[in-house]
Structure 1
Amino acid sequence: MDYYAIVHNDFDGTASAAVYARAVNDLPKKVFFTEPTKIHNFLSKLELRGVNNIMIADIGINASTFDSILQSLKRLISQGAKIQWFDHHVWKEEWKKTLSDIGVEVYHDTSTCGAGVIVKYLNPNDEFSKKLTSADCSVDIWLHDDPMGEKLRRVVESNRDYSWKEYLIKKFYQGILWDEEFEKILVDQIDKELKGYEKLPKYIRVLNINGKNVVVAVRWKGPPDISYASQFLMNRYNAVVFASINGKAISFRSNLIEVRKYAEKLGGGGHPLAAGAGLKAPFWRFLLHKLGYRKPLLDWVSNIVINVINEIGYVPYQRKDIRI
């Protein structure tokens, strides 16, 4: 079956493409990696070119771009496309109904990760897919209950090139969960991470907002990545929220607070404990950051974080049972 796979450019997106391929017993004609903040632009430019089957996975919808997404999907369906959308981020019920009404097959479940939605509905008896999904969910939705997740995430994120993720999709499709190649990458990544932790204080500011510590950061190059760095910094500074900006978007992380509410306020979305939104920094502040002067960008993002937390408050996260 010829099909396009459109997935998030992270571990969960990579795993989603792999478990879908195992479910349909075929690799995609082409994998496209994108983000929730860019999916509307991507779909507006997508051409079928003789491929009528499309799977979209681990891509949430933002309220600000839903109408644009809807119009693009209508166009593709009118051209003969069959579209399946698998996701685990928070959706409005009206979004699911509207997409279903135009012919999109919507598979939505917030109790698992993106790959977990696919396995649950398409291939629940595939033991390899369940193992890969367990590792994926462990880190993607911040369960941290499967050691393989911490290992595989480092392997997936060791190389930002899309060709690397395509290579991994093929390996997972073949049933390879771990091998000597992955082991070597893991050792190398951990070594880089340990060195990278030393530089993090240069990129952060610790705020006290309504009696609780919040770490705000401007993005750095290289390991550790945002997930591991956020855990380290929140523990080090006894913080309940971590926020970082890369010049184009803001990301929130927490172990206790529903940070998705902050992201939604800024026009984004995500998971309860890991979320983000598009947020373009003023050019001159971003330029100074690139030149090594971080204070102007930290000042700007700190004010945004202070305002959104003051408006929303700290909403404790109530963990739900997770089904894989």
Structure 2
Amino acid sequence: MYIVIAHGDLDGLAAAALYTIHLDIKPSDVKLLISYPNRLHKDLTNVLRENIRKIAIIDIGLNTTSYYYVVKALKSLSSRNISIEWFDHHVWEKEWIDTISGMVQKLVLRRDTCATGLVFETLVDELKHCDVATLRRFVNAVCAVDQWKFNVWEAPFLLRYVEYRNDVEWYRNVYLFFVDMLRSCNIDDLISRITKYVESYVDEELKVVSTVCRDSFRITLDNIRLGVYVRRNVIPNASIIGNAMLNICGVDIAVIVNNDLSRVSLRSQRCDVRTIAAYLGGGGHEKAAGAEIRVDLPLRLLWKLNIAKAKVASVVARKIINLIEEFKSFRGEVCVKLYT
């Protein structure tokens, strides 16, 4: 059995689809697992019970919280002579690279492209079901989303289609759809078949974006404007909300709490938010990062039951602001300036 462990977003699913095509086997012979840095070690441990031929880890980085446990799981897999390949474009510490590279058969790390671009460029000679130009068109659209460039028209369609839902069943269906479309080499048909989802998504997105400044909590720390927004729904995703907060609301750092109060996403154009995420036990990129948070059970229950949501959002936002103030005290500054 082949196991592909991928990040649950457009880049992770698209890269997983390309990787599956290069294997030249039926998708039913591939087990797709949706994972994230904070739970990768659990997924690697769980697959020890499977009859595995190869594992591919795609678009999943490491963080200080889970690194030790990932290494422990990889040691167990290595002892069974299971082939492991890892493709990622997040920030890795040198210690992580030195350790992991000795435990896997292939470790491909680059930060100048998205994970889909990384898989494509590494395996392009083995992608025989479709011409290179068509595949590159798909890859460019995915990277345009992941790198937040949107310099090709297909990019916003793909983003909103994948983010239409955020459950595992949906992500697996998206992955299978991508595999089917890429094997048939028909990107135009792919776009036409997802349009209905995109239109529905945009309707909900506009409702949120039009009120995001009003509904966010803002404070200034060291002349850095910080904004916190607590999402009430899956749509739109954190990057769309973050973009609105940075460019419409005028904050320097946008913090978006996901709709189940379990995680924060950080976005900025001038500050290295990965340093904040790392302090919170997470990771990511300099301009886009994330971490888990802990919110007290009574607040989570009130939120889930749709009781006093405005009050709960206020309390959660205050908690996030307190955490960032703690980071400021630890680091001496809230904004670690970007050099690019």
Q: 1:212 aligns with which of 198, 205, 224?
A: 224
TM-score w.r.t. the length of structure 2 is 0.86
Aligned pair in 2 of structure 1 residues 53, 271: CA closer, same or farther (>3 Å)?
Answer: same
| Matches of 1:127 and 1:93, distance apart in 2 | 35
Aligned to 2:269: 255
Identical pairs, percent: 27
Aligned to 2:322: 303
| Matches of 2:15 and 2:96, distance apart in 1 | 21
Which AA in structure 2 matches 1:219?
R
Q: 2:279 aligns with which of 259, 265, 269?
A: 265
Q: Which runs of 5+ in 1 are unaligned?
A: 320-324
How far the C-alpha of 1:5 sits from its partner, in A, is: 0.6
1:130 paired to 2:136 = yes
1:49 paired to 2:50 = yes
Q: How many residues align?
A: 318
How far the C-alpha of 1:75 sits from its partner, in A, is: 1.0
Aligned to 2:334: 313
Aligned to 1:238: 250
Aligned to 1:281: 295
Aligned to 1:10: 9
Q: Secondary structure at the match of 1:46?
A: helix
Deviates more, 1:28-37 or 1:4-13: 28-37
CA deviation map 1:213-235 (0-9, x unaligned): 21112222142221111111222
How far the C-alpha of 1:201 sits from its partner, in A, is: 4.9
| Matches of 1:105 and 1:267, distance apart in 2 | 26
Is 2:10–2:142's contact at 8 Å kept on the other side of the alignment? yes
Aligned to 2:95: 94
Aligned Cα RMSD in Å?
2.1
Is 2:265–2:290's contact at 8 Å kept on the other side of the alignment? yes
Is 1:141–1:271's contact at 8 Å kept on the other side of the alignment? no
Is 2:4–2:56's contact at 8 Å kept on the other side of the alignment? yes
Q: Secondary structure at the match of 2:120?
A: helix
CA deviation map 1:204-257 (0-9, x unaligned): 201111123211122221422211111112222211110122322221011232
| Matches of 1:289 and 1:160, distance apart in 2 | 18
| Matches of 2:14 and 2:257, distance apart in 1 | 26
1:62 paired to 2:54 = no
How far the C-alpha of 1:288 sits from its partner, in A, is: 4.2
Is 1:90–1:110's contact at 8 Å kept on the other side of the alignment? yes
Deviates more, 1:242-251 or 1:120-129: 120-129
Which AA in structure 1 matches 2:284?
G
Aligned to 1:36: 37
